[in-house]
Structure 1
Amino acid sequence: MSYSIKEVAQKFNISSYTLRYYEKEGLIPSIKRNESGRRLYTEDDLGWIQIIDCMRATGMSIAYIKKYVDLCAMGEDTISERRKIILDQKNVIEEQLKKYNELLNLVDLKLDYYDEKITKDELRKILNEKKK
């Protein structure tokens, strides 16, 4: 099955411009084209786009992704280098998760404070109304 650039852009919630940029930078190894010259994306291409999208979302640079793609093209001899790139990115993600968990804990503490404050204020209002 093949997909148009528009379908792929919608599927990954990225622009057609971004897809063309990825292709121009050599991040997607080889996009086939139909007789009219329109891009036809395969399932393999979607796999590349998915990993590129993942790496970009975690802050990996285009140059580093390009290095990874180039290593993939070199074959089996580069598996350990590719594994290191993915492991490094996993470590980046884990650090980001740690940071966001700390932020979430702070937000939760603030919400607990406000929830407690609101509950006390509501209780006071109820007691004051009963006195009347």
Structure 2
Amino acid sequence: MYKISEVAKITGFSIPTLRYYEELGISAPAKNKSGYREYSEADIEWLRFIQRLKQTGMALETIKKYSELRSQGNQTIEKRMKLLATQKKRLLSERRKIDDHLAFLETKQTTYKQMLADREQ
């Protein structure tokens, strides 16, 4: 079992963020007799998963929905898969935009290289 300060170091989430996630119902660490949070390995793995979802740009509200579905058990797997698929579509759309921006810059660089080569002749 891990204290909240240890989990903050392990995951990179701040202590206030960990408390906020608990308040939202995204995480649910056990509490000991004194009322202190005790995180398990499973809790830490779940927080790492949340961290990855955040890194994909998934909104906290969607992560909360995913967490709610997860807590309802395996009968919600299809709904969770849909949330992941929606996020994947968003990322692919962003990738296409970035690819378009890169192509624009490469085209402009090619133009300038040609202009420099023409100038040297």
Normalising by structure 1, what TM-score? Answer: 0.69
Deviations 1:66-111 (A, max 9, x none): 2111111222221111111111112222233333444456667788
Match in the other structure for 2:45: 47
CA RMSD after TM alignment: 3.1
Q: Which amino acid aligns with 2:17?
A: T
Tell me how far 1:11 sits from its aligned partner.
Answer: 2.0
Residue identity over aligned pairs, in percent, reads 36
Q: Deviations over 1:15-63 (max 9, x none)?
A: 11000000000001x2112333221111111122122222222332222
Aligned to 1:80: 78
In structure 2, the CA distance between the partners of 1:102 and 1:16, relative to structure 1 (3 Å rule), is: farther
The amino acid that maps onto 1:41 is Y
Larger Rg: 1
Specify the alignment match of 1:68 in structure 2: 66
The answer to whether the 8 A contact 1:58-1:92 is kept is no
Instruction: Point out where structure 1 has 5 or more consecutive residues left out of the alignment.
Output: 121-132
Q: Given the superposition, is the C-alpha separation of residues 109 and 65 from structure 1 closer, same or farther in structure 2, using an over 3 Å criterion?
A: same
CA pair 34-108 structure 1, distance change in 2 beyond 3 A: farther
Alignment pair present for 1:7 and 2:6: yes
- The residue aligned with 2:57 is 59
- Using structure 2 for the length normalisation, give the TM-score: 0.74
| Secondary structure of the corresponding residue to residue 97 of structure 2 | helix
**Corresponding pairs, count:** 121
Amino acid of the residue matched to residue 76 of structure 1? Answer: N
74 and 20 in structure 1: CA distance in 2 versus 1, 3 angstrom threshold: same
